Amino acid sequence: MDKSSVFEETYTNYLAQIGKMDFEKIADRLGAETLGDELIIPVFGKPMRISSDGISESSGSRPNFSVCVILFKYLLLCPDHDPVEMSGSALRISRIRHLFPAPSSITPKPRWQNIFLVA
């Protein structure tokens, strides 16, 4: 199997997955618009048209494969409902403090191992 056929197979697989999505539900959440059966997402100021037929730039051409994969994953990882907002019963840090060791109980490490730790 050559490289281009693997890309085409992956692209087709992603198209099949987004073909099952309801773009109306996720458009607002993504800052996108719907136009018929297309979802239009601005990417670096350029509108990208996404539908079950494919992804295209405003010129009508397909963007490179990596841009397509990023857009497919962006769509597929978008939840189909708004996150639940917590009201009044937020979890306080003081309630979970016992889950983390106190700074004094951490064994000191050689200095070169602490370069990423913030005191």
Tell me the per-residue pLDDT of 61-108, one tens digit each, with 9 for 90 and over: 999 999 999 999 999 988 766 665 555 555 554 555 555 555 555 555
- What number is the average pLDDT over the span 46-58? 93
Residue 107 lies in a domain: no
85-90, Cβ contacts within 8 angstroms, sequence gap of 24 or more:
none
Q: Is residue 28 part of a domain?
A: yes
Domain range for 27 is: 3-76
Q: Whole-model pTM?
A: 0.65
Within a domain: residue 11? yes
In a domain, 111, yes or no: no
pLDDT interval class at 31 (50, 70, 90): confident
Burial 83-110 (b: 16+ CB within 10 A, else e): eeeeeeeeeeeeeeeeeeeeeeeeeeee
In a domain, 96, yes or no: no
Residue 34 lies in a domain: yes
* pLDDT reading at 16 higher than 60: yes
SS3 labels along 35-103 = ECCEEEEEECCEEEEEECCEEECCCCCCCCHHHHHHHHHHHHCCCCCCCCCCCCCCCCHHHHHHHCCCH
Q: Give a yes or no: residue 88 inside a domain.
A: no
In the chain, the number of structural domains is: 1
Per-residue pLDDT at 117 exceeds 70 = no
Distance CA 48, CA 55 (A): 7
Is residue 99 in some structural domain? no
